[in-house]
């Protein structure tokens, strides 16, 4: 099978120095009082205009057919909150809404033309993290956060806004990090859609084996992830919570995957797994990372998971299953 390329694209904007800014008519851009709106060195395209759609159809066709792009990251890195006053109703924001609907219709048309294409939406600081966007796009990039321990709170909270199977979370292991931190950044993505990045090309064979172990686990559980529903054994995470947890209950309701992060505080914790309450009997399995120090007990009668970890920032993924 031929490998597809991945490409970051910002299809709604044009740089102010781009030749496209001169080729397209003035009406193809957001305007105010007859002047094109400039934000962060970019003009915003107006997808209501047929020449915008024609131009972008050509761009996507070239990239998919001639350059074999199979995955697009569609980003939006401006903040044009004011309306455009080109051919729009007088109500504030009405033309903006019409443009957004036209843009989403255009995205749908690309997926119709190229059925194997995957398109991710990146929401520019969650400005557009909504199901108008996610009903069309395959995946939502969750954050650009570069501290994996801080990212844990984001990863654990994401099911409040995005279904796990659409929640693209970055795992970016580094050769200079400890095994515990590298394992933590992998755990961040295991109950969503893993975006594996980082400098895996610079890692030792032992470090790389830890990352591969996580990817094997992900492939093992991902069919459950796409139909599971979320639960929070420790309650909704706070940004600075010492301990954070996210659970996914499989559709058969006989399996719960529980991710646990320790970021500070005591090295032991008792966690009540409510979704396993009342099971006649069940067993606990540490899924990842299996080679790092972990103390874990499971009392199925009380649904209490007891965990002990090293005096460090770390994360673990468990599986609890009825037997």
* Whole-number pLDDT of residue 71: 95
* Whole-number pLDDT of residue 32: 85
Q: What are phi and psi of 150, to 5 degrees?
A: -70, -35
Which of these ranges, 75-89, 126-140, 156-170, has the smallest mean pLDDT? 75-89
Higher pLDDT, 94 or 313: 313
DSSP alpha helix (H) spans, 81-196: 94-113, 131-134, 148-157, 179-190
* Whole-number pLDDT of residue 235: 96
Higher pLDDT, 157 or 90: 157
* Whole-number pLDDT of residue 53: 97
Which top CATH class is 1-141?
alpha beta
On the question of pLDDT at 79 being above 80, the answer is no
Q: Do the beta carbons of residue 267 and residue 308 sit within 8 Å?
A: yes
Average pLDDT over residues 190-213: 96
Cα–Cα distance for residue pair 256/86, rounded to 1 Å:
52
Peptide bond into 10 cis (omega under 30): no
On the question of pLDDT at 1 being above 60, the answer is no
| pLDDT band with cut points at 50, 70 and 90 for residue 316 | very high
Residue percentage of the chain with pLDDT more than 90: 79
The token duo for 144 is 């650009």
* Whole-number pLDDT of residue 111: 97
* Whole-number pLDDT of residue 304: 96
Q: Give the best-scoring range by mean pLDDT among 34-38, 93-97, 290-294.
A: 290-294
* Whole-number pLDDT of residue 17: 94
CB neighbour list of residue 173: distance below 8 Å, 6 or more residues apart: 182, 185, 186, 198, 199, 200, 203, 207, 210, 211
| pLDDT band with cut points at 50, 70 and 90 for residue 92 | low
On the question of pLDDT at 88 being above 80, the answer is no
Identify the CATH number of the domain defined by range 229-322. Answer: 2.60.40
On the question of pLDDT at 176 being above 90, the answer is yes
Average pLDDT, whole number, for the chain? 92
Q: Please state whether 198 falls in left (phi above 0), alpha (psi between -120 and 50) or beta.
A: left
| pLDDT band with cut points at 50, 70 and 90 for residue 72 | very high
| pLDDT band with cut points at 50, 70 and 90 for residue 2 | low
Q: What is the pTM of this model?
A: 0.90
Beginning with the edge strand found earlier in the chain, give each strand of the sheet holding 268-272 in spatial order.
Answer: 268-272, 304-308, 295-299
Cα–Cα distance for residue pair 230/160, rounded to 1 Å:
8
* Whole-number pLDDT of residue 210: 98
* Whole-number pLDDT of residue 320: 97
Q: How far is CA 155 from the centre of its chain?
A: 8
Higher pLDDT, 104 or 92: 104
Task: Give me the residue spans of the domains in the chain.
Answer: 1-141, 229-322
Q: Do the beta carbons of residue 84 and residue 46 sit within 8 Å?
A: yes
């Amino acid at each position: 099978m031929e490998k597809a390329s991945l490409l970051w694209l910002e299809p709604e904007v044009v740089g102010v120095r781009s030749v496209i800014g001169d080729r397209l008519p003035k009406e193809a851009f957001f305007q105010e009082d007859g002047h094109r709106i400039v934000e962060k060195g970019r003009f915003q395209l107006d997808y209501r205009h047929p020449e915008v759609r024609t131009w972008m159809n050509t761009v996507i066709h070239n990239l998919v057919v001639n350059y074999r792009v199979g995955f697009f990251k569609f980003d939006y890195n401006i903040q044009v909150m004011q309306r455009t006053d080109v051919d729009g109703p007088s109500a504030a924001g009405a033309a903006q809404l019409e443009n957004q609907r036209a843009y989403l219709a255009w995205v749908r048309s690309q997926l119709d033309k190229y059925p194997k294409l995957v398109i991710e939406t990146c929401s520019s600081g969650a400005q557009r993290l909504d199901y108008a966007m996610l009903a069309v796009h395959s995946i939502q990039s969750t954050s650009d956060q570069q501290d994996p321990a801080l990212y844990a709170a984001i990863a654990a909270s994401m099911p409040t806004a995005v279904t796990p199977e659409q929640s693209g979370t970055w795992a970016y292991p580094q050769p200079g990090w400890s095994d515990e931190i590298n394992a933590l950044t992998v755990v961040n993505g295991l109950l969503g859609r893993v975006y594996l990045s980082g400098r895996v090309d610079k890692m030792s064979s032992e470090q790389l084996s830890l990352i591969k172990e996580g990817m094997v686990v992900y492939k093992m559980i991902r069919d459950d992830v796409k139909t599971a529903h979320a639960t929070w054994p420790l309650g909704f995470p706070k940004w600075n919570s010492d301990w954070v947890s996210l659970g996914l209950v499989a559709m058969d309701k006989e399996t719960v995957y529980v991710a646990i992060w320790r970021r500070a505080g005591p090295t032991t914790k008792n966690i009540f797994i409510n979704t396993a309450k009342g099971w006649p009997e069940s067993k606990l399995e540490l899924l990842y990372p299996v080679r790092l120090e972990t103390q874990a007990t499971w009392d199925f009668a009380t649904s209490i998971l007891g965990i002990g970890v090293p005096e460090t920032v770390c994360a673990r993924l468990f599986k609890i299953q009825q037997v």
